[in-house]
Amino acid sequence: MQPPFLSLTLKFHNLFRDDLLKNETFNRMYKNLVIYYFSGTGNALTAARWITKSAALKGLNASLIPVDRFKKPSFPSQEGKTLIGFLYPTHGFSLPWIMLKFMLVFPLIGKQDAFLLNTRAGMKAGRWFTPGLSGMAQLLAILVLKMKSFNIKGLLPLDMPSNWISIHPGLNEKTVELIIERCRSIVENFSEKILTGKRTYKGLLSLPIDIAIIPVAIGYSLFGRFILAKTFISSSDCGNCRLCEKRCPTGAVKIVDGRPYWSFKCESCMRCMNICPTKSIQTAHSFVVLIFIVLSFIPYSFWLSAIISKYLPGAPAVASNFLYDASRWSFKMLFIFIAYHILHFTIKNRSINNFFTYSSLTRYWRRYMAPGIKAFDFRQKE
Ligand SMILES: Cc1cc2nc3c(=O)[nH]c(=O)nc-3n(C[C@H](O)[C@H](O)[C@H](O)COP(=O)(O)O)c2cc1C
């Protein structure tokens, strides 16, 4: 039996606590959600749409903004608390350059709550769903956003169906369906937390592996992505509809001499290859092999070491090693650029074109586009 004064105090206390809790939830609640996304084949866009749907159900004003060919990042002025999301695929264990650039030039808007979601290469082996690898796809973004005073509330790597069809066939419909269903429920749980102001950092679970593969990620960002940009060709089936040029997120595809040409701005996001109505865009695998063979026969390493030791005889080992590596890779890049130029003009010849088309694995492989996503979803706004 409690003395009457104690029961009264407890009642007051509970009343006060309930009010506090209500206030806390109220303060945490967002009024707006702004999602900036980059998506090659619709996986990140699909995840963005799931989150937006959950936000709309909670009564938030939600905006979905593609970063494709952005000129100046804009932040819509809104009343009330706003949560900002950045969604993008993982490319070469890093984030696509266009997304990194977008974050770097994003205006300083003070302490804002934000979350990151990077889609990765999800696959299925028997009964098991296999994950992709983030590398520095989140770590680098965290660094940039922290520099911009963002308050990071959530990190989610999401293993959507892999779209990297230059290196493997597109997944079959059933597998895609199962992976998508799994991801949808992961995103729904994530949205439930993030939209109500809770913190969730699933992305940190693979931190040791992510840190270990950072050197590979740096190699991809400095060289890999430029090399990949020079592996695309269009076959003789190309109807010159220019859809690849119109829908390219970075404006990297140009029509040169009546056929698409991929410049170094290409992110290898796989969009052009997968939206092409005649399936005429291929990865020229035999060109890659040819380049590899020729480069392994050119004695450029010998020349470079000779030049460095002649002109910088007393340079410390670290400096000459760095110079050697930098000039070796610059030479390779220049070589690939020239060889790709030659390829572009020689495939005008039907027999040469057929050789590179029919020796390409993508000619025989299934394509990939996230279910329900069409080329129209990637139209560029004026
Ligand atoms: C060029 C390229 C590089 C990729 N690198 C990785 C990677 O390092 N790790 C990974 O898990 N997935 C990687 N992927 C797979 C994509 O990140 C994954 O399929 C993603 O869900 C695609 O999303 P999107 O459709 O929004 O572009 C890569 C795909 C491409 C095309």
What is the Å distance from ligand 1's center to 159 Cα?
9
Same domain for 243 and 163: no
Rounded mean pLDDT, 341-350:
96
- Alpha helices, DSSP H, located in the chain: 4-28, 43-57, 97-105, 139-147, 173-194, 207-212, 214-219, 225-229, 243-247, 271-275, 285-297, 300-311, 317-346, 350-358
pLDDT at position 7 is 52
Same domain, 209 and 333: no
Instruction: Provide the pLDDT for residue 39.
Output: 98
Q: How many domains does the chain have?
A: 2
Final residue before a domain boundary, out of 151, 185, 214? 214
- Same-domain pairing of 276 and 202: no
Ligand 1, atom 31: closest residue by C-alpha: 164
How many C-alpha atoms does 219 have within 13 Å on its Cβ side? 6
DSSP 8-class letter at 36 = E
Is 290 in the same domain as 329?
A: yes
In this structure, the answer to whether residues 98 and 166 fall within a common structural domain is yes
Give the DSSP letter string of 46-88.
Answer: HHHHHHHHHHHHTT-EEEEEE-TT-SS------SS-EEEEEEE
Same-domain status, 194 and 304: no
Residue 271 Cβ < 6 Å to ligand 1: no
191 lies in which domain range? 4-214
Assign residue 29 the CATH number of its domain: 3.40.50.360
108/172 same-domain check: yes
Mean pLDDT of 280-292: 96
16-28 pLDDT tens trace? 445 444 444 544 5
Domain stop point among 193, 214, 235: 214
> What spacing in Å lies between the alpha carbon of 163 and ligand 1's midpoint?
6
Residue 322 shares a structural domain with residue 200: no
Q: Quick one: pLDDT band at residue 354, thresholds 50, 70, 90?
A: very high
43 and 142, same domain (yes or no): yes
**Based on the domain organization, do 296 and 210 belong to the same domain?**
no
State whether the beta carbon of 92 lies less than 6 angstroms from ligand 1: yes
Spatial CB neighbours of 285, under 8 Å, sequence gap ≥ 6: 231, 359, 360, 361, 362
Final residue of a structural domain among 183, 214, 245: 214
The model's confidence at residue 5, banded by pLDDT at 50, 70 and 90, is very low
How many angstroms does the Cα of residue 157 sit away from the middle of ligand 1? 11
Cβ-in-10-Å burial (0-12, 13-18, 19+) of 221 comes to buried
Q: Judge if 145 and 103 occupy the same domain.
A: yes
188 and 258 fall within a common domain: no
How many angstroms separate the CA atoms of 74 and 277, rounded? 33
The pLDDT, as a whole number, for residue 4 is 52
